[in-house]
Chains A and B, each alone.
Chain A
Amino acid sequence: MHEATTTTLTEALSAGGAAVREGTSADAVHGRVPRLVATPPDTAAASALLAAAHRHGLASIARGNGTALAWGAPPLRCDLLVDTTALTGIEHAAGDLVVRAGAGTPLADLRDHLARAGQRLTLDPPVPGGTVGGAVATGLSGPRRMLHGPLRDLIIGMTVVRADGVAASSGGRVVKNVAGYDLGKLHTGALGTLGLITSVTFRLHPVPPALRLVSAQAPDAAVLQEWTARALRSAAVPAAVELRWPAEGPPRLQVLLEGARGGIDARAAEVAALLDAPHTAEALPPDWGAPPGGARDTLLKVTAPVSASALAARTVREAARALGTSADVGGSAGAGVLYAALPADADPEAVAGVVARARAALAEAGGTLTVARTAPHLADPALDLGLDRWGPVGGLALMRAVKDRFDPHRLLSPGRGPGGM
């Protein structure tokens, strides 16, 4: 299937209106340089592009702004990189608190656009550089997911191009709608393995007039856990309960309150009374909701029932220490979804060991651990590290059946799906 000359392929791929060029090392995904890079200007062109790629058996990978291309396993193949950055456009129905955005729309543009109407997509942090499609495909959900739900709960409609080039929509443009299967759920967090997202419709929230961030340093995980429980139980209704536990030093809990100006100080005081030596701020710190560690660190995603979230953080840290490395942990203690960063230069065997050890301990408490991103030196697929990125996945056979139907020839980001699909 690779006999076609680059010229023939370029012609075939550009027939539907996409701009096509040869790939360079700057386009590499985990070291794999794509043969071609195509930029479709709209859904119709994206549809023609993927249909042509399908006919020629080319494996494709979507790229938004490329800030999270290292997420997921190294792709098994990468013939075509689909650059989504021309799939832009914002249609904002402010009175309906709804927005439709092209997948290539930078999140920052979307945020600025919505802010003019006093509204927001309650997806934080506003990732610098990331696109709508990239955020949806990585399943980004920031601190406020605790109150407003994860990103998938904010998506009310989606248009996706399938592996065979067929463009299909699900959901709609109204917040309440139960017509048909909600396929947007499947694509959220799927790293592009089930289709190329071309546009997404979100429900929005008004930006609350006031916020307070109450934070405090906890002496240990048990106290952290107790504070989390108190914050959750309090009538102050926090929007987020975040944990920050750097590799060195004690953990902090951050409780975010949002709402009417009149009540905000009373609510903040109510939460402050639940913690020791609390500090109350009227603005968010610059690193609010950012994943822990550096951009090249190995990043683990950890989940746990909320009564064990702080303890889960401790579990991962202890596993890291036992294997001679360290973990920087942060995330939503209130939702039970955390990230842990292991140093970029950590020994490969230690990383695999931390993963196995922490995963087993977390499973006992009803939690999970997956590898979101590996440090560059761990990403070489030739390296057999014995690193299991996924661990047990409930419903894997059904997921495989879904993948078989949507992408039978494994042309979409092959190897990056659950269980290495």
Chain B
Amino acid sequence: MPEPLHALLPRLRAVCGDDGVITDTARRRTYESDGITYHAALPGVVVLPTSTAQVAAVVSLCAEHGVPFVPRGAGTGLSAGALPHTEGVLIVTSRMRSILEIDVANERAVVQPGVANLDITRAAAPHGYYYAPDPSSQQVCSVGGNIAENSGGAHCLKYGFTVNHVLGLEVVTPAGEVVRLGGKAADAPGYDLLGAFIGSEGTLGIATEVTVRLLRAPQKVRTLLAAFPTMDAGGAAVSAIIAAGVLPAAVEMMDALSIEAAEAAVACGYPAGAGAVLIVELDGPAADVDAQFEEVAALCRAEGAFEIRTASDAAERARIWKGRKSAFAAVGRISPAYIVQDGVVPRTSLPEVLRRIAELSAESGIRVANVFHAGDGNLHPLVLFDDAEPGAAERAAEVSGAILDLCIEHGGSITGEHGVGVDKACHMPEMFSPADLETMDLFRGAFDPAGIANPEKLLPTPRLCGERPGVRKGVHPLVERGAAEQF
């Protein structure tokens, strides 16, 4: 252990207690990576604070000694944002898991950062409310991690992302100070630091208390599955639905390869011979949902859907979602390894980009399965390869990188929800000019002049670039445990 860190240990123990400070190598190793296992580093020391005061005291010590710190929630991140610093302190929020308040009258919940996303909805449900952002990892991922990544979910097409649902934060700054941004009321005076903090990937400090908006559960939810002969036809249906002025809660699409994988894994029974399936979910006032549902079905038929199934109760809905939700795990079963990509294109470019992905796949002999949030153009191509085959990983990484290039070429983004972290930091210059990046760095420096908060994440550094994107082997451990279903 490096000397400055060693000198800190007694003081960290005084703050977090003996059981709140982990130095044992084997135990530290359990924190060496997040959801991207390819990036791994042994944390210098791990602390498990239980309160804001403890977090502030730990960060103050780091600031005083110039020691870097890395926040960590549940470690499900898919951009290596919580990758530890070997000479730093990993601050884990897993002991800050209290729901502090469900305030129905104000439609707010106040929670600690380690609370699992879904637990907010569980606590609010008896009152007829829920917390809208629903990343597929929601059974385990923490609210603090959601804030850091500005996480989305299948329903963010209509309801927006984490940033649209967080009204207040208590933050421990990189100087160790406790600051409140926003609260139960909207529009706190002054610059919108709250909005800018969300999505900052742990580089501006640690969120220690979170106030979120609760939404009234919709009166009606209806789900439809439409099978198309080709991806082009499915894509055209998505465009037609949006052009008709319908704003579904979710629009998800799967291609033939992912349908085949899902069929083999969970026998979801999607229509045979489909080149694409579309899942469209509508929610809201019953009358609106019913009217728009008929419209969506008609549009799908007009674009060549050869079979349409509808669900009106929860059980039927689950049956439709089953294939979609198991698709990623299923793909893991048909390929020894794969890379999960997360790129965004303007929705109208989807057909073109999907065609180009198919060409890339054909040229390289690397299979690519497409399961994605079609409504907002957020692609999650799975680049399949056999890591036992020499050179396959490199070729897969090339295809994965080429897909990102395609996204940028079409005016899209290198990440729609998984974040930049370490994994994509060196792709940032493809999307942003040096002046853009320098401006972002100016902003970062306002919070963290000493550069100790999650260093070497989000913005490119010379040391980082050149590393390969994350490669996943088989089924993700979370999926295997049944803790998460999909991406």
Interface centre among A150, A180, A391 (most CB of B within 10 A): A180
A404: CB under 8 A from chain B? yes
A-B contact count (CB 8 A): 268
A418 near B192 with CB under 8 A, answer no
Interchain nearest-CB distance for B324 vs A (Å): 18
Q: Which of B418, B437, B439, B444 has the most CB of A within 10 A?
A: B439
Contact call B180/A96, Cβ cutoff below 8 A: no
CB–CB A168/B435 < 8 A: yes
Question: Is A207 engaged at the interface, CB distance under 8 Å to the other chain?
Answer: yes
List CB contacts (< 8 Å) of B194-211 with chain A.
Answer: 195-196, 198-200
Q: Are B415 and A177 in contact (CB under 8 A)?
A: yes
Question: Given the complex of chains A and B, what is the CA–CA distance between A180 and B218 in angstroms?
Answer: 33
Q: Which residue of B lies closest to A185 (CB)?
A: B195
B184 within 8 A of A: yes
Q: How many Å from the CB of B161 to the closest CB on chain A?
A: 7
Are A399 and B191 in contact (CB-based, < 8 A)? Answer: yes
Which one, B189, B198, B373, B419, contacts A418 given CB within 8 A?
A: B189
Complexed CA–CA distance, A180 and B415 (Å): 10
With A176-B377, A176-B378, A182-B199 in contact, do A367 and B436 touch (Cβ < 8 Å)? no
Query: Is there contact, CB below 8 Å, between A368 and B242?
Result: no
Contact partner, B181, options A94, A305, A395, Cβ 8 Å: A395
Q: Any chain A CB within 8 A of the CB of B160?
A: yes
For B190, what are the chain A residues with a Cβ–Cβ distance below 8 Å? 390, 393-396, 399, 418-419
Give A206 to B198 CA distance when docked, in angstroms: 27
A276 to B458, CA, bound (A): 54
The contact of A150 among B150, B187, B418, by CB within 8 Å, is B187
| Across-interface contacts of B415 in A (CB, < 8 A) | 177-179
B445 within 8 Å of A (CB atoms): yes
B17 to chain A: which residues have CB within 8 Å?
none
Binary CB contact string for chain A from 24 to 57 against chain B (1 if under 8 A, 0 otherwise): 0000000000000000000000000000000000
Whether a CB of chain A sits under 8 angstroms from the CB of B156 is yes
A186-B443 CB under 8 A given contacts A176-B156, A306-B106, A395-B181: yes
In chain B, positions 412-436 with a C-beta closer than 8 Å to chain A are 412-420, 424, 428, 431-433, 435-436
B196 adjacent to A181 (CB under 8 Å): yes
Write the B437-451 contact mask toward A (1 if CB under 8 angstroms, else 0): 111101111110100
Question: Is the CB of A360 closer than 8 A to any CB of chain B?
Answer: no
User: Is B447 within 8 A of A401, CB to CB?
Assistant: yes
A395 to B198, CA, bound (A): 15
Set of chain B residues within 8 Å of A118, measured between Cβ atoms: 245
Residues of chain B contacted by A178 (CB below 8 angstroms)? 149-150, 161, 199, 413, 415-420
Decide: A153 and B416 in contact? CB cutoff 8 A. Answer: no
Of the stretches A59-67, A260-268, A288-296, A379-387, the one at the interface is A260-268
Complex alpha-carbon distance, A172 and B218, angstroms: 31
Segment at the interface with A among B3-11, B44-52, B341-349, B477-485? B341-349
The interface stretch among B28-36, B223-231, B283-291, B325-333 is B283-291
B173–A337 touching, CB < 8 Å: no
A131 to B438, CA, bound (A): 28
Partner of A186, one of B156, B180, B192, B284: B192
Report B-chain residues with C-beta under 8 Å of the C-beta of A273. Answer: none
Q: How far is the CB of B442 from chain A (nearest CB, A)?
A: 4
B188/A335 in contact, CB under 8 A: no
Say yes or no for B273: interface residue by CB 8 A criterion: no
Chain A residue contacts of B193, Cβ below 8 A = 186, 395, 398-399, 402
Interface residue ranges of A185-203 to B (CB < 8 Å):
185-186, 188-190, 194
Name which residue of chain A comes closest to B108, CB basis: A305
Give the distance in Å from the alpha carbon of A77 to the alpha carbon of B221 in the complex: 56
Q: Shortest Cβ distance from B351 into chain A, in angstroms?
A: 11
Q: In the bound complex, what is the Cα–Cα distance between A189 and B195 (angstroms)?
A: 12
B163 at the interface (CB under 8 A from A): yes
Segment with Cβ contacts to B, from A2-10, A68-76, A227-235, A321-329:
A227-235
Shortest distance between the CB of B151 and any CB in chain A (Å): 8
| 0/1 string, A160-179, CB within 8 A of B gives 1 | 00100011111011111111
CA distance A261 to B291 in the complex (A): 9
Whether A176 contacts B219 by the Cβ 8 Å rule is: no
CA distance in complex: A367, B106 (Å): 12
CB of B407, distance to nearest CB on chain A (Å)? 9
CB–CB A337/B247 < 8 A: no
Residue A128 CB within 8 A of the other chain: no
Contact of A235 with B285 at beta-carbon distance under 8 Å, contacts A98-B346, A176-B344 already known: yes
A12 part of interface (Cβ distance < 8 Å): no
- Per-position 1/0 for B167-182, Cβ under 8 A of A: 0000001000101111
The answer on a CB contact under 8 Å between B164 and A267 is: no
Closest Cβ neighbor of B239 among chain A residues: A95
Considering only CB atoms, which chain A residue lies closest to B294 in the complex?
A: A262
**What residues of chain A lie closer than 8 Å to B269, measured between beta carbons?**
none
A394 vs B376: C-alpha distance in the bound complex, in angstroms? 34
Give the docked Cα–Cα distance between A208 and B292 (Å).
12
> Does any Cβ of A come within 8 Å of B216's Cβ?
yes
A135 to chain B, nearest CB (A): 15
Q: Are A181 and B156 in contact (CB under 8 A)?
A: no
In the complex, whether A249 has a CB less than 8 A from a CB of chain B is no
Contacts of A419 in B (CB 8 A): 190
Give B366-385 as 1s and 0s: 1 = Cβ < 8 Å from A's Cβ atoms. 00000001001110000000
| Smallest CB separation, B328 vs chain A (Å) | 18
Q: Given the complex of chains A and B, what is the CA–CA distance between A233 and B291 in angstroms?
A: 23
- Which residues of the partner chain B approach A367 to less than 8 Å between Cβ atoms? 185
B58 to chain A, nearest CB (A): 20
Chain A residues within an 8 Å CB radius of B435: 166-168
The 6 closest A-B pairs by CB, nearest first: A263-B287, A185-B195, A206-B245, A418-B190, A168-B439, A235-B219
23 pairs, A vs B, C-beta closer than 8 Å = A95-B347, A98-B346, A153-B164, A172-B413, A173-B412, A176-B373, A178-B199, A179-B413, A179-B432, A180-B420, A183-B196, A188-B195, A189-B187, A189-B192, A237-B218, A260-B288, A260-B291, A263-B286, A264-B287, A267-B285, A267-B287, A390-B190, A397-B179
B: residues with CB less than 8 A from A are 103, 105-108, 149-150, 152, 156, 160-161, 163-164, 173, 177, 179-193, 195-196, 198-200, 216, 218-219, 239, 242-243, 245-247, 284-288, 290-292, 344-348, 373, 376-378, 411-420, 424, 428, 431-433, 435-440, 442-447, 449, 458-459
Contacts A153-B160, A174-B345, A305-B183 known; list 4 others, CB within 8 Å. Answer: A95-B346, A180-B428, A336-B186, A398-B447
Q: Using CB atoms and an 8 Å cutoff, list the residues of chain A in contact with chain B.
A: 93-98, 118, 139, 141, 149-150, 152-153, 162, 166-170, 172-183, 185-186, 188-190, 194, 205-209, 229, 232-233, 235-237, 259-264, 266-267, 301, 303-307, 335-337, 366-368, 370, 390-391, 393-399, 401-402, 404-406, 417-419
